[in-house]
Structure formats: structure tokens, C-alpha cells
Amino acid sequence: MSRYQPQPIDTSAINLSPDILQLTEQLAENTHNHWAQQRLQEGWQYGPERDDTDKTHPCLIPYAQLPESEKAYDRNTAMETLKAMLALGYKIVKG
């Protein structure tokens, strides 16, 4: 088996406008909400520490209450998705 070498789309030349940066925060919150909804449907619940056996997780809280480090993870996911779309030639236009 060969060693996995991720090759994400190069987004280093992409700069996001202020409007798109604002969209990033909304998408980050939405990403968290989808993740939390899926976990809750799988029987997970809030707990002060992650425990895969008991299905508890400290991030099963509203996005606004997350530690900044967790918000940054969701923001980065959203931002890189938007940058990848632009790098692939798509345009993001508010309708």
C-alpha cells in the first residue's frame, strides 16, 4: 500500500472579498450545526470531555459558545471550500 499524499486544490493565490469573508462565518456556523445534528441523531450528547464509548462531546453546544480554536477549524473548512470554488473558476454571486 502506498503512502497517502493529500493534494488539495491550490488556493494560495485566492483572496476573498469582505462580503465572502462574512459568508465564511455563516458557513462555519452551518458546518458546526450539521456536524452537531448528525452527532445528536447518532445518540451523542453534550459532555465535558469527549468519550467515544459514552458518546459525549464538549462541542455539542451552539456555535457562539464554542472555544475560538473550534470555531477556527470550522472557519478554515468553509474558507478553503470557498477558495477552492473560486480557484476552479466558479463565481460566488449573491442573488
Is residue 1 scored above 80 in pLDDT? Answer: no
The pLDDT tens digits of the residues spanning 58-76 come to: 999 999 999 999 999 999 9
Is residue 10 scored above 90 in pLDDT? Answer: yes
Average pLDDT of the chain is 95
Boundaries of every domain in the chain: 25-87
Backbone angles phi, psi at 65, to 5 degrees: -95, -5
* Residue range 25-87 in CATH 1.10.490.160: yes
The model's pTM: 0.85
What pLDDT shows up at residue 94? Answer: 86
Backbone angles phi, psi at 42, to 5 degrees: -85, 5
Per-residue burial over 41-78, b = 16 or more CB atoms within 10 Å of its CB, e = otherwise? eeebeeeeeeeeeeebbebbeebeebeeebbebbbebb
What pLDDT shows up at residue 84? Answer: 97
